[in-house]
Amino acid sequence: MDWGLQNRLSQIIKPQNNRALMLAVDHGYFLGPTEKLENPKKVIAPLLKYCDSLMLTRGVQRTSVPTSTNVPMVLRVSGGSSIIGEDLSQEEITVSIKDAIRLNASALAMSIFVGSKYEHQTIVNLGKLVNEAEEYGIPVLAVTAVGKELGKDARYLSLACRIAAEQGAHIVKTYYCDNFEKVVQSCPVPIIVAGGKKIYERDALQLTYDAIKGGAVGVDMGRNIWQSENPVAMIRSVRYIVHGNATVDQAFKLYQTLRNEKPQQNKPQQNKPQQNKPQQNKPQQNKPLENKK
């Protein structure tokens, strides 16, 4: 693998523990103003420092992410359909490799729709995208999208993941399912798990834990973070599992603690007299090891 490609991959899947926490905010590309993601800039701002990478479209990147960030961008480059259109699987590549490079993308993401009407088109497009992206050392993440009529079971997801990997995808995103190990074992590239529809916070933490235990490198989670009653508490708790090896109980306990914390406000500086005390090295308190960045 070329140095550039390997380097970009290691920005997304952290080499120290082979884990990844990707925050997904690309839903608007076919869903429009998704509930609680109506204003991506406001959603992204408090969460950015807790994710390893951000999955998004170029429109959201240009309008809603500060250019000063050093969080790697996983750029969605496929689209062309909408939730009210005829067929969600009718996607094409909509972003040029030149624009992806201008946006400093660390990886490109596109969906394949195995078993759907436009299966052929999306799989061929994946192959073509890999051809182009490899020329510039940019990894490709294939999203195994599931049509309404298809079940998210291990048989179907193994098929979709394996096809994506055979076309040259460097990372495959799929769903967690029963016998998930089977999906991981038959896919020769790293698998990252999507969060899916909003569920109870503890259940989403359980999903994170099970996915990693089953062999996923991590999660690419969207709705279960920003649709949570406390998105910052939730991403920090997911992070605690992904990078802190926490159990579900530990992570949920952290969620419950953080959920009740008041958001920090920028209080105006008070005119207190300076005390100029020498700094002491206080002993560390027994706080949970959350592995904040």
Distance (Å, rounded) from C-alpha 111 to C-alpha 89?
8
Q: Which of 41, 42, 98, 173 is an active site residue?
A: 173
Which tokens in the block code for residue 60? 């959201």
- The site map against ligand 5RP for 135-174 (x = CB under 6 A) is --------x-------------------------------
Distance (Å, rounded) from C-alpha 202 to C-alpha 251?
8
- The 10 Å CB-count burial string (b at 16+, else e) for 221-250 is bbbbbbbbebbbbbbbbbbbbbbbebebeb
196 is a site residue for ligand 5RP (CB under 6 A) = yes
- The site map against ligand 5RP for 88-127 (x = CB under 6 A) is ----------------------------------------
Within 9-68, the residues that bind ligand 5RP by CB under 6 A are: 24, 26-27, 55
Burial class (CB in 10 A: 0-12, 13-18, 19+), 89: buried
22 in Cβ contact with 191 (< 8 Å): no
Q: Which residue is nearest to ligand 5RP (CB)?
A: 195
Distance (Å, rounded) from C-alpha 50 to C-alpha 291?
10
The CB-of-2 to ligand 5RP minimum distance in angstroms stands at 26
CB nearer ligand 5RP, residue 220 or residue 248: 220
Distance (Å, rounded) from C-alpha 65 to C-alpha 59?
10
CB nearer ligand 5RP, residue 196 or residue 288: 196
Backbone φ and ψ of 238, nearest 5° = -65, -40
173 catalytic, yes or no? yes
- The site map against ligand 5RP for 212-251 (x = CB under 6 A) is --------xxxxx---------------------------
The CB-of-219 to ligand 5RP minimum distance in angstroms stands at 8
CB nearer ligand 5RP, residue 194 or residue 251: 194
Give the H or E element holding residue 23.
Answer: strand 20-24
Return left, alpha or beta for 230; rule: phi > 0 is left, psi -120 to 50 is alpha, else beta.
Answer: beta
Counted residue by residue, the chain has a size of: 293
CB nearer ligand 5RP, residue 26 or residue 201: 26
CB nearer ligand 5RP, residue 222 or residue 244: 222
Instruction: Among 40, 72, 195, 231, indicate the residue that binds ligand 5RP (CB under 6 A).
Output: 195
Residues contributing to the site for ligand 5RP (CB under 6 A): 24, 26-27, 55, 143, 194-196, 220-224
Active site residues: 173
